[in-house]
Amino acid sequence: MNGAELLVLALENEGVQQIFGIPGEENLDFVDALRRSTIKLVLTRHEQAAAFMAATHGRLTGKAGVCLSTLGPGALNLATGAGYALLGAMPMIMITGQKGILSRKQARFQIVDIVSMMTPLTKMAHQITSTATIPSMVREAFRVAQQERPGPVHLELPEDIARTAAPAILPVPAHPIDHPVASHSGLERAAGLILNAKRPLIMLGAAASRPRLAEPLSDFVRRLQIPFFNTQMGKGSVAGGSGLYMGTAALSERDYVHWAIDEADLIIAIGHDTVEKPPFLMGPKGPVVLHIGYLPATVEEVYFPHAEVIGDVGQSLPLLADRVEGRLPEAGALLALRDKILARIADRAEESRYPLTPQRLVHDVRQAMPEDGIVCLDNGMYKIWFARNYRTHVANTLLLDNALATMGAGLPSAVMAALLNPGRRVLAVCGDGGFMMNAQELATAVGLGLDLVVLIVQDDAYGMIRWKQAVDGYPDFGMTFNNPDFVAYAAAYGATGSRVEGPDDLAPTLEKAFTRGGVQLVTVPVDYSENLRVLVDELGNQALMNRRN
């Protein structure tokens, strides 16, 4: 057995079923060991996409996804994916090759210091320098990647270590890890705050979307009957129509959901992670914030909780509910605002206009998606509209990145979601800018034989930046571009393309695309004048009126 075979054995021991990436010659022993293993090698067309796929595996399953690249250029291409997994708290292992470390037959050709590059982008980055350490290093890598707060880990395997004879060491078996449970005093303090609140509100943050939390969270909300809102990455974590959903905070202030936030005297923030664009801004005047998380909150200018319940969230929630359930006559105080908020959000959702308004676009996508369908967003202006307007009923059915907020992850994340959920509808929603950043992964999707629909929101521009430019009073400059013919582009990959050509055409076009199966590309033109009308004029005026009152 050589080092590469021992590494593959250790990965099998962790339950790894597929590795995404692009090998280089320094990985050939590793690839050969994969050939003789149970692990499938999924080739992508760019390492960045491989990292997005592996990270999404971690996000959706809690088990680290694995990606692979060569040294230098390939490893550098993983950097954005590392940042995505680090900020997004997604467990991922990145394995990269390197020239031999025991001699330097090619001098410095292709060598850059990848471990140093990865160090600030990961929870841990190591070069493997001895075959004997491989089993323990791999176990440690998965433990670190998967344990709260999850994130990426990098292992570099130099080609001579890969080829060196390895001692027959068994992989280190994984043992069950229980998270520490919240302290009695923390739970009592929290219960006291909740019992005293006159207008309590729950906020579900990014960590609330951990796959194992869906049930305890839903139970908690149902038992307390306190209304809740989400951050963008906390969307969909309460199952079913609870009647308690108050909205999603896609903006930091002044949106309709902030009517409730501004009225609340206690916000119970479950799993909030300050990597997200702030869902509300704390200031000297309140409200009181109770932070429930696996780890203490980082203290920020805009987030400095007054009390915390730290420990396994899945265990904290029932313990807390036991202390307050049935003793909260004011639990629903803020519910009076619910209808008003949701009605404002739904405004113009069914308006027939061509090009489509973002509201109509979100509405029609929801029509085409069953409750358990998964929508994976890239980054662009439409993300704000989906976060505000798209109602979710099942955990992790709207995947978006409000942490690194990188363009280019929409399609790769959807490829992973489709691979993991072959029976469910999966839709990638990308801008015409973001789609083109990893459009080559259409080839990966077609090669994998996936059923996947990609919706391109077309404005022939980097719309979000164009919008910011306008809002900040700059002249309209430099943000528009020419697009390829997306239908022909899809056909070139062996996928099928279609265009939405009328105001009422989107839902039926999506329906047709899902029914046909395979990889389907649908383009829809969008009218982004609503960005100014709603997100600036309407909400700006609203804020002024609120101030006058």
Ligand X SMILES: Cc1ncc(C[n+]2csc(CCOP(=O)(O)OP(=O)(O)O)c2C)c(N)n1
Q: Which residues bind ligand X (CB under 6 A)?
A: 379-382, 405-408, 431-434, 457, 459, 461-465
From the list ligand X, Mg ion, none, pick the one residue 117 interacts with, judged by a Cβ distance below 5 to 8 Å according to partner type: none
From the list Mg ion, ligand X, none, pick the one residue 381 interacts with, judged by a Cβ distance below 5 to 8 Å according to partner type: ligand X
Q: Could you say which residues in the range 441-460 bind Mg ion, by CB under 5 A?
A: 459
Angle at 530 (CA atoms; ends 529, 535), nearest 5 degrees: 120
Q: DSSP string covering 72-98, please? A: HHHHHTTHHHHHHHHHHT--EEEEEEE
Regarding 410 and contact with Mg ion (CB under 5 A), the answer is no
433: its two tokens: 């800018």
CA distances from 59 to 85, 212, 505 (A): 9, 11, 33
- Minimum CB distance to ligand X smaller for 320 or for 415: 415
CB of 51 to ligand X, least distance (A): 13
- Minimum CB distance to Mg ion smaller for 25 or for 476: 476
- Minimum CB distance to ligand X smaller for 307 or for 465: 465
From the list ligand X, Mg ion, none, pick the one residue 58 interacts with, judged by a Cβ distance below 5 to 8 Å according to partner type: none
CB of 401 to Mg ion, least distance (A): 17
- Minimum CB distance to Mg ion smaller for 357 or for 396: 357
Position among 139, 431, 450, 467 found at the interface with Mg ion (CB under 5 A): 431
Regarding 463 and contact with Mg ion (CB under 5 A), the answer is yes
Looking up tokens 């597929």, which residue turns up?
18
Q: DSSP string covering 129-172, please? A: --GGGHHHHHHHHHHHHHSSSP-EEEEEEEHHHHHSB----PPP
- Minimum CB distance to ligand X smaller for 289 or for 457: 457
At a CB cut-off of 8 Å and minimum separation 6, what does 235 contact? 204, 209, 248, 387, 390, 392, 398, 400
Q: Give the whole-angstrom CA distance, residue 213 versus residue 345.
A: 27
From the list Mg ion, ligand X, none, pick the one residue 382 interacts with, judged by a Cβ distance below 5 to 8 Å according to partner type: ligand X
Q: Give the whole-angstrom CA distance, residue 86 versus residue 16.
A: 20
From the list ligand X, Mg ion, none, pick the one residue 246 interacts with, judged by a Cβ distance below 5 to 8 Å according to partner type: none
Q: Are strands 152-158 and 92-98 parallel, antiparallel or unpaired?
A: parallel
Q: Which stretch binds Mg ion (CB under 5 A): 46-54, 235-243, 319-327, 433-441?
A: 433-441
From the list Mg ion, ligand X, none, pick the one residue 405 interacts with, judged by a Cβ distance below 5 to 8 Å according to partner type: ligand X
CB of 485 to ligand X, least distance (A): 16
- Minimum CB distance to ligand X smaller for 150 or for 433: 433
Torsion angle of the four alpha carbons 290, 294, 295, 300, in this order, in degrees rounded to the nearest 10: -50
Q: DSSP string covering 519-536, please? A: EEEEEEEB-THHIIIIII
- Minimum CB distance to Mg ion smaller for 461 or for 510: 461
CB of 486 to ligand X, least distance (A): 12
From the list Mg ion, ligand X, none, pick the one residue 290 interacts with, judged by a Cβ distance below 5 to 8 Å according to partner type: none
CA distances from 3 to 159, 385, 433, 530 (A): 9, 49, 42, 58
From the list Mg ion, ligand X, none, pick the one residue 465 interacts with, judged by a Cβ distance below 5 to 8 Å according to partner type: ligand X
Residue 365: strand, helix, or coil? helix
| Contact footprint for Mg ion (CB under 5 A) | 431-433, 459, 461, 463
